[in-house]
Amino acid sequence: QICLSLVKLLFYLAHSPLGSIVLLDFQPRQFVMVDGNLKVTDMDDASTEELSCKEDNDCTLDFPMKSFPLKCSVVGKCEGINEKKNLFNAYRYFFTYLLPHSAPPPLRPFLSDILNATGDLRYGINETLKAFEKVLHLYKSGLYLQKRPLLLKDYISLKGFRTVEGEDYKCWPSYSHLGCLLSVHGAEEAAAICNSQSQCQSFTVTQQRTWTGRPLALFQSSLTGLITDANAVVYIKRSASLGERL
């Protein structure tokens, strides 16, 4: 969410009515999340000036560990230098820390491609935004889910009940510090996740939703604290002893 919101912001800055805007003091502390959108807190160090040049050799974009040769345009400006500077700083300060493990395994190669392409400045901001939107579409639609045997048949469904969230086994990246609360596309994906965790004996797809509209599923090692809820369903592994659990 943070990276996509940042890319949308940089897309606006690259195509602003004032021209391409560069953030000269590009640091994480310069940004804040407001209602799920990343915003710049200080525009004092923003500039629309692009580096003047006479030849391509005048257009090297230098960073501490990397340099990029750019083209000198016919009007004597280094082509896209503001956009590329913003994008590489996004890669340095945000993408490298947030992207590698922030998606289900089938989507990680797509994020790795974005990471590599922005790290080498092979992508401009237009291509980067398009790549992020593709990943978001796959994530929200569930199209990333690989065809596999249906696993929900290995579970008993207990309709009209839900479990109370309490301290239980931990998993990553959980939405709760008390236990294992993960985003899923639906009950079938939740069953696959539960099967992959040795501690998991049951799960509930909750009414909570993430910013993408996906539900959160609570995975638990026991069925303590069952309460009635007409809209809920608890899924219990058939291999678990139902008598003992209830």
As annotated, the active-site residues are 25
Spacing of C-alpha 54 from chain mean position: 41
Residues 6+ apart with CB under 8 A from 51: 58, 59, 77, 78, 81
d(CA 177, CA 7): 29
Taking Cα atoms as reference points, which of 175, 184, 119, 188 lies closest to residue 147? 188
Instruction: Retrieve residue 165's tokens.
Output: 């969230």
Q: Is the dihedral of CA 88, 102, 149, 138 positive or negative?
A: negative
Total length of the chain: 246
**Nearest 10 degrees: CA dihedral of 39, 44, 49, 51?**
-90
